């Protein structure tokens, strides 16, 4: 790479604002000296990031057509050769998909970047043609599209595209060793895989300086998309068992998603309406404030690459009760930072919560150990530095033809 200018990274397949962990990474890379351009429908205002307008596939058909043609015309000014290549792809796409292909690819054509980064494997799979531009591509695997999607026979064609994207990628990023092993089991060469665990802003997510309040019910908290894979129904089942055992508790659930109505029904069916609150989506500061007011973080996922929410809770000094799935044992050592239970095992989860409810000293010890673990191994500075090293290595090896 020319030492006179910084490395340039184009990030595609995202909406703005993205998930908090991704925003942290992109801003951290930009602050480290990398030029980061985000292709998204909405401008990342107030961020040290460049923006490429990549409108969503919305609006009436004629509007989408005009938008696509205008985007292609602007791309022609930047790079006639690449536009000719895209038009060839458009002609082979079939009548129904021609406008969509032009719409999705034209904003990214003729851009001056060194590495293309897809934070989601699904986005990479939807833009396989961009791999043919001859630039190095990095794709992230975060868990569900490798650990969960293959179990759904209706998604077999999607999974094939996910694997094609990983096979075509210059480098594959995995969030945990558990995800890495699953990717390798799908036939992706281990030499192109890098494991970089999530990064937490430990200065923002830090324990409260107030003395813990042990009066009243034990305060439980969980966070995540309200979907079946997060297993919240099993958590509610555990709470039903705790109530039968006369354990006094309150649970606050951060997040929203397709299972919201089902969870509301389950809460009512188990008679937990006085003890469980669904908070919906919260911003980063609100999440931090909720964690600081809780006693125990609970993760009930059926599958997990590695949970950013659990790491944020640990950074705030909370002990964690988590299912023993995916990469969670890489973050939580049984009996040290928290307690691990089998997935779908409501009685085991109830026993773990009851144990921490009864032993306040153990809660404090695990909370302190979790905070220390996150500071030492999951800090944001360490995370950004690892990503910077990966991007530099990808570009260098690509230029000498040594990347597998």
**For range 168-180, the mean pLDDT:** 95
Average pLDDT of the chain to the nearest whole number: 92
8-54+114-199+380-400: CATH class: alpha beta
- Which tokens hold the place of 337? 């930072």
Judged against a pLDDT cut of 90, whether residue 225 lies above it is answered with yes
Could you tell me which residues come within 8 angstroms of residue 18 by beta carbon, excluding any fewer than 6 positions away? 26, 119
Question: Own/partner pairs for 122-125, CB < 8 Å, 24+ apart?
Answer: 122/13, 122/158, 122/162, 123/12, 123/13, 123/14, 124/13, 124/162, 124/165, 124/166, 124/169, 125/158, 125/161, 125/162, 125/164, 125/165
Mapping DSSP to helix (H, G, I), strand (E, B) and coil, where does residue 277 land? strand
The DSSP bridge partners found for residue 194 are 173
Structure confidence at residue 403 as a pLDDT band (50, 70, 90):
very low
Break the chain into its structural domains and give their ranges: 8-54+114-199+380-400, 218-377
Classify 218-377 by CATH class. alpha beta
* pLDDT of amino acid 99: 86
Q: Assess whether pLDDT exceeds 80 at residue 163.
A: yes
| pLDDT reported for residue 189 | 92
**How confident is the model over 213-231, as a mean pLDDT?**
92
- From residue 387, alpha-carbon distances to 49, 135, 188, 358, 383 in Å are 16, 18, 20, 42, 6
Interval 69-87 mean pLDDT: 90
How do residues 353-396 score in pLDDT, each as one tens digit?
Answer: 999 999 999 999 999 999 999 999 999 999 999 999 999 999 98
Ranges 2-6, 124-128, 188-192, 286-290: which has the least confidence: 2-6
pTM: 0.91
Q: How far apart are the first and last CA of the chain?
A: 19
Domains 8-54+114-199+380-400 and 218-377 share a fold: yes
Looking up tokens 């979907």, which residue turns up? 227
Helix ranges, 318-379 (H): 328-331, 346-358, 360-377
Contact 297, 222 (CB under 8 A): yes
pLDDT bracket for residue 399 (50, 70, 90): confident
């Amino acid at each position: 790479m020319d030492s006179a200018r910084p490395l340039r990274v184009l990030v595609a397949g995202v909406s703005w604002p993205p998930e908090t962990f991704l925003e942290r990474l992109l801003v951290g890379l930009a602050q480290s000296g990398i030029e980061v351009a985000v292709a998204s429908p909405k401008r990342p205002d107030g961020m040290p990031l460049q923006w490429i307008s990549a409108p969503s596939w919305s609006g009436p058909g004629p509007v989408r057509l005009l938008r696509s043609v205008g985007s292609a015309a602007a791309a022609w000014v930047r790079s006639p050769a690449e536009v000719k290549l895209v038009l060839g792809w458009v002609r082979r796409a079939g009548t129904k998909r021609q406008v969509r292909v032009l719409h999705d690819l034209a904003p990214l054509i003729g851009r001056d970047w060194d590495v293309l980064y897809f934070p989601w494997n699904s986005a990479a799979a939807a833009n396989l043609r961009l791999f043919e531009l001859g630039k190095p591509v990095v794709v992230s695997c975060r868990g569900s599209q490798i650990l969960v999607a293959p179990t759904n026979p209706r998604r077999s064609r999607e999974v094939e595209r996910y694997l094609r994207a990983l096979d075509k990628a210059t480098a594959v990023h995995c969030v945990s060793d558990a995800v890495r092993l699953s990717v390798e089991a799908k036939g992706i060469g281990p030499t192109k895989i890098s494991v970089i665990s999530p990064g937490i802003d430990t200065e923002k997510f830090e324990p409260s300086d107030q003395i813990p309040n042990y009066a009243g019910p034990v305060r439980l908290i969980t966070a995540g998309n309200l979907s079946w894979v997060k297993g919240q129904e099993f958590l509610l089942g555990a709470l039903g068992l705790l109530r039968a055992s006369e354990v006094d508790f309150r649970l606050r659930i951060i997040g929203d998603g397709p299972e919201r109505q089902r969870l509301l029904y389950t809460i009512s069916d188990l008679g937990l309406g006085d003890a469980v609150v669904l908070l919906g989506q919260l911003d980063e500061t609100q999440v931090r404030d909720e964690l600081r007011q809780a006693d125990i973080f609970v993760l009930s996922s059926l599958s997990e690459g590695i949970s950013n929410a659990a790491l944020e809770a640990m950074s705030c000094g909370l002990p964690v009760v988590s299912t023993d799935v995916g990469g969670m044992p890489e973050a939580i050592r049984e009996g040290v930072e928290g307690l691990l239970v089998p997935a779908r095992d409501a009685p085991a989860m109830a026993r773990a919560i009851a144990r921490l409810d009864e032993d306040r000293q153990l809660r404090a010890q695990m909370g302190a150990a979790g905070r220390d673990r996150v500071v030492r191994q999951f800090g944001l500075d360490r995370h950004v530095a690892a990503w910077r090293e990966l991007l530099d290595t990808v570009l260098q090896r690509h230029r000498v033809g040594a990347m597998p």
